[in-house]
């Protein structure tokens, strides 16, 4: 996972995060799962390769329909299990 700061059309994005090494299909499936099942919570908790992370999503309503406003991953704490699993 990477977190970066960037400018888009002269607007500064202080931080943006994304997965590295995953397929677009994985990302889309994970984000869709979170968006559809979170039931008005803004976060979904996951664990991948013994490493915890959260997917944060915000929705917006337009003409009575619910849309994804933004959705992104946030890394969790680096646990001993995560460190051991990924150092092999």
- Residue 14's pLDDT is 86
pTM for this prediction: 0.79
Res. 56 pLDDT band, cuts 50 70 90? very high
Encoding tokens for residue 46?
């996951």
φ/ψ of 21, rounded to 5, equals 90, 0
Listed by start position, the domains of the chain span 23-86
DSSP 20-75: SS--HHHHHHHHHHHHHHSTT-SEEEEEETTEEEEEEEEEEEETTEEEEEEEEEEE
Res. 41 pLDDT band, cuts 50 70 90? confident
């Amino acid at each position: 996972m990477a977190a970066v700061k960037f400018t888009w059309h002269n607007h500064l994005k202080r931080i943006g995060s994304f997965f590295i090494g995953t397929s677009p299909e994985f990302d889309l499936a994970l984000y869709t799962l979170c968006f559809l099942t979170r039931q008005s919570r803004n976060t979904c908790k996951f664990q991948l390769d013994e490493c915890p992370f959260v997917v944060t999503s915000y929705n917006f309503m337009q003409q009575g329909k619910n849309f994804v406003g933004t959705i992104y991953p946030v890394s969790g704490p680096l646990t001993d299990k995560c460190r051991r699993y990924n150092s092999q």
